């Protein structure tokens, strides 16, 4: 099964400097059956929602699905929501368990703690992060902790932007864009695009509370705008992608202390590129040999080989076959990569060449209005 989160209603009360506003062509969470042989997808239903479930996360056992509903329409404080769903393991259908407040406006990211007992939320338009307990039946409880980002905003021009770039998306205020635990679950990291910082928290698994780490935050170059990150499978290296600077920064990660130390900065774009680009997703292949970086406006996925010391080398790029690739993901086998082309209203499927890291278009397009994220579940292995 594949679950696709979409923008299903326009966001409101947003400054006109935001360039990423979707028209809301999706209808909620779209379900698909995935062909293991050729990567094609067949529609299997829609859980209709008008609150833009733009990010999805599965629990550790694959029996629950959680959605960040990227809206500000709940309550006087313009709070967003997060929903919990039970998954029917016979057909993959969803049943709503409950919906709770996200702790801020415009929740754009959710992730599950390795224990499966907590859900982390990043509220982009609220500039805050929250910890929500996952109850024994999979429902969500009220937040056990919330943190508001604070600090000096970065400039409207990125330090490392390509020549001629006018890329500006999120330095008008604080914007928490991603939050996730490290592989051990002892530390939780989150990025704020507007502050150009990555925050590191110690996590109390008993109380569900965050506390500043030994090195509470690291700064990226002013204006570059950290968006997403991904750990290398060996846990020693951490890759951060910058939305407005169009770069990847390699950090050494100390799993004992949660400290980050930057060691390499490389462009996500091919040599000679000029003009505006907004980076999106970053993924490390399961074998740790390649890193993939999304470029919106350039509409490509940059491909990088990983050296013995974690450093990256640009090896090529692949056109996404659509406009504004917001995110992409590997299927459970790692044989296919699925790219959500947000403004083209489609998902394009690529076969992965594990020897070269290359992406070969399969010819399969799947129509989905404003796709934002795709996650996969093998029903035979869930439970």
Tens of pLDDT, residues 219-278: 999 999 999 999 999 999 999 999 999 999 999 999 999 999 999 999 999 999 999 999
> Per the domain annotation, does 64 fall within a domain?
no
Residue 379 lies in a domain: no
What tokens appear for 234 in the block?
A: 């060996």
- Tell whether 188 is covered by a domain: yes
Total domains, the chain: 1
Q: Indicate whether 199 pLDDT > 70.
A: yes
Question: What local confidence, expressed as pLDDT, does residue 22 receive?
Answer: 58
pLDDT band at 62 (very low <50, low <70, confident <90, very high): very high
DSSP state of 206: T
Predicted local confidence at residue 17, as pLDDT: 39
pLDDT in tens, 175-187: 999 999 999 999 9
Closest CA to 153 of 133, 126, 179, 171: 171
pLDDT value at residue 170 = 86
Q: Using 50, 70 and 90 to split pLDDT, how confident is the model at 75?
A: low
Domain that holds residue 142: 102-372
Is position 37 within any domain?
Answer: no
Mark 330-358 as b/e (b = at least 16 C-beta within 10 Å). Answer: bbeeeebbbbbbbbbbbbbbbbbeeeebb
The answer to whether residue 23 sits within a structural domain is no
The pLDDT of residue 76 is: 63
How many CB atoms within 10 Å of residue 127?
24
Is 44 contained in some domain?
no
Closest CA to 265 of 298, 308, 312: 312
Over residues 329-343, the pLDDT tens digits come to 999 999 999 999 999
Produce one character per residue of 87-118: b if its CB has 16 or more CB atoms within 10 Å, e if not: bebeebebeebebbbbbbbbbbbbbbbeeebb
Contact in structure between 364 and 41 (CB atoms under 8 Å): yes
Give the pLDDT confidence of 291-334 residue by residue, as tens digits. 999 999 999 999 999 999 999 999 999 999 999 999 999 999 99
Asked if residue 7 is part of any domain, the answer here is no
Convert the pLDDT of each residue in 9-21 to its tens digit.
755 444 333 445 5
Alpha-carbon distance of 283 to 292, in angstroms, equals 5
Q: Is residue 334 part of a domain?
A: yes
Token readout for 298 is 């350039």
Q: What percentage of the chain reaches a pLDDT higher than 70?
A: 95
pTM, two decimal places: 0.96
3 state DSSP class of 264: strand
Looking up residue 221, the CATH number of its domain turns out to be 2.130.10.10
The pair of three-digit structure tokens given for residue 306, joined into one six-digit string: 């990983």
Query: For 92-121, what is the mean pLDDT?
Result: 97
Q: What is the mean pLDDT of the chain?
A: 94
Please list the alpha-helical segments (H only) found in the chain. Answer: none
What pLDDT is recorded for position 363?
98
């Amino acid at each position: 099964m594949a679950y696709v989160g979409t923008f299903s209603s326009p966001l409101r009360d947003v400054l006109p400097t935001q360039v990423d506003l979707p028209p809301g062509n999706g209808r909620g969470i779209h379900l698909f059956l995935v062909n293991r042989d050729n990567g094609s997808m067949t529609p299997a239903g829609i859980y209709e929602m008008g609150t833009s479930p733009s990010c999805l996360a599965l629990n550790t056992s694959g029996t629950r699905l959680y959605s960040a509903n990227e809206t500000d329409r709940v309550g006087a404080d313009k709070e967003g929501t997060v929903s919990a769903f039970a998954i029917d393991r016979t057909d993959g259908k969803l049943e709503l368990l409950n919906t709770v407040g996200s702790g801020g406006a415009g929740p754009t990211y959710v992730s599950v703690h390795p224990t499966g007992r907590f859900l982390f939320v990043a509220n982009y338009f609220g500039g805050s992060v929250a910890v929500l307990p996952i109850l024994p039946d999979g429902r969500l409880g009220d937040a056990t902790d919330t943190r508001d980002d604070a600090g000096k905003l970065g400039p409207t021009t990125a330090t490392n932007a390509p020549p001629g770039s006018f890329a500006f998306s999120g330095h008008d205020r604080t914007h928490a864009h991603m939050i996730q635990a490290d592989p051990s679950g002892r530390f939780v990291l989150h990025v704020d695009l507007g502050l150009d910082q990555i925050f590191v928290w110690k996590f109390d698994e008993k109380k569900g509370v965050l506390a500043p780490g030994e090195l509470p935050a690291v700064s990226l170059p002013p204006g570059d705008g950290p968006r997403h990150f991904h750990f290398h499978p060996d846990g020693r290296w951490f890759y951060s992608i910058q939305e407005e600077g169009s770069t990847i920064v390699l950090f050494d990660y100390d799993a004992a202390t949660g400290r980050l130390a930057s060691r390499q900065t490389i462009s996500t774009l091919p040599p000679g590129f000029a003009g505006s680009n907004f980076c999106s997703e970053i993924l490390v292949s399961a074998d740790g040999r390649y890193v993939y970086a999304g470029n919106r406006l350039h509409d490509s996925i940059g491909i990088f080989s990983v050296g013995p010391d974690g450093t990256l080398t640009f090896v090529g790029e692949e056109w996404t076959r659509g406009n504004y690739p917001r995110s992409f993901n590997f299927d459970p086998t790692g044989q296919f990569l699925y790219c959500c082309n947000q403004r083209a209203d489609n998902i394009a499927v690529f076969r992965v060449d594990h020897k070269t890291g290359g992406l070969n278009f399969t010819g399969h397009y799947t129509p989905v209005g404003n796709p934002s994220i795709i996650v996969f579940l093998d029903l035979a292995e869930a439970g």
